[in-house]
Amino acid sequence: MRVQYIVHKATHVGRGHLIDFVNRQDSHAHIDWEITGQRTIIGIVCDGCSEGTTSEVGATLASNFLVREVSRLVEQRVPISVIPNVIYPTLLDFLRTVVNSYSFADSADRVTFIKNALLFTVVGFILKDSETVVFITGDGTIIVNEHINYVD
């Protein structure tokens, strides 16, 4: 018998953000579909770094990119246990493409853009009828279920 799941998602502007008039810095995306007879749910939450003035930009780009990229990999039958380690360099390539599409006055301008708009942490899950993977990625660390991998 299949386990039934319902995915709820919400966003909440924290008290400190309200008091200080700081923007909401998180983003989320999910996909729920059936492939080869198995229901698959993918959820991604990207939490922007409070240091950045517009970190919701990177968080939104990443959550939308990652949910689609993970979906593509699941459809290609990549084992879900390796997907978090596969998407990390793919996400970095995507973000490099974004950065390289801009014209910056100098390297300091480039660094400021990255600091303000593209720093975030990723929390995600891939849930299938037969297995589940939960992962967290940020600051050069990837945690997949109980395994920790330092990549930077």
Q: Are 68 and 83 a contacting pair, CB within 8 Å? A: no
- Statement: residue 1 has pLDDT above 50: no
Ranges assigned E (strand) in the chain:
26-35, 38-48, 120-128, 132-138, 141-144, 147-150
Q: What are 23-76's pLDDT values in tens digits?
A: 667 889 999 988 767 889 999 999 988 778 888 899 999 999 999 999 999 999
11 — pLDDT class (breaks 50, 70, 90) = low
* Residue 20 in tokens: 């200080």
Higher pLDDT, 21 or 46: 46
Q: What's the Cα-to-Cα distance from 152 to each of 88, 98, 137, 138, 140, rounded to whole Å?
A: 11, 20, 12, 10, 5
Q: What distance lies between CA 60 and its chain's CA centroid?
A: 9
pLDDT value of position 107: 96
Counting residues of the chain whose pLDDT is more than 70, the rounded percentage is 87
Query: What is the value of pTM for the model shown?
Result: 0.86
